[in-house]
Amino acid sequence: RRQKLSKKANKIAILGDCHFPYHNKKAFKAAMALIKAEKPTHVVQIGDLFDQYSFSRFNKKNLIQPMDELTQAKELAVDMWVSIRKALPKAKLYQILGNHDVRMIKRVEDKLPEAQDIFRRYLHELYTFTGVKTILDEREELVIGDIVFLHGYRSGRGDHMRYNRQSTVCGHSHVGGVVFEQYRGKTIFELNAGYLADEKSEPLKYRPQSSSKWTLGLGLIDENGPRFIPLGGI
């Protein structure tokens, strides 16, 4: 989905992986305050808005009933977008789906494939928000100007940029930062928006070590270029 980016509309804020309802409340609050202060013309949530821990294929604890988890996540997401829309009534808002956002569908595809269309319709309802353009196909990227936005699925820094051969914004790895390269005489970049989840919550404990290199924060693109804004010190 390609969107035009005019010269006047040159500030894009990118919210990283939230994993609602297992978000980091302090970091998320700081990210929301920063977005409202920066007054971007575009806001993109880069995917993994929900965690969908209840539908994980991995061994998990019975923390919460699936419907309760989805209800809590939806309420948090609605509040987020309502707050952003109220603060930035003229901004264009976009929601992208990540791999966690489609966990439910993947389980249905494995166990009851004939029902996947029914569950996908429900999934689309979950990720539909007033005034927000949602990219409902998790395989499809959003393009704003000459920048590709997608949740991501590659692990190496800069791999999405190299694959797309153009500037790319992603999430997924939870490690924020920017890398630059020259391609055919043009400088391109990959901006990873980091994450806004609570790494101490049970669903985020899938790491092989208790410590991690994950970085709380969000991404911003303006006339000065792309940057990652860390929020780990709050």
The per-residue pLDDT string of the chain (234 residues; one tens digit each, 9 = 90 and over) reads 555 554 555 899 999 999 999 999 999 999 999 999 999 999 999 999 999 999 988 777 888 999 999 999 999 999 999 999 999 999 999 999 999 999 998 888 888 888 888 888 999 999 999 999 999 998 999 999 999 999 999 888 999 999 999 999 999 999 999 999 999 999 999 999 999 999 999 999 877 666 688 999 999 999 999 999 999 776
Per-residue tokens: 89? 């009534």
Sheet holding 225-230, edge to edge: 132-135, 92-96, 42-45, 12-15, 217-222, 225-230
Please give the pLDDT value at position 103.
93
Alpha carbon 34 to chain centroid, angstroms: 17
Q: What's residue 1's pLDDT?
A: 57
> Torsion over CA of 51, 148, 214 and 173, rounded to 10 degrees?
60
What is the structure's pLDDT at 108? 85
- The identity of residue 102, as a single letter, is V
Residue with tokens 């988890």: 69
Report the distance separating Cα 27 and Cα 121, nearest Å: 32
Question: How much is the pLDDT for 210?
Answer: 66
Residue 194's pLDDT is 97
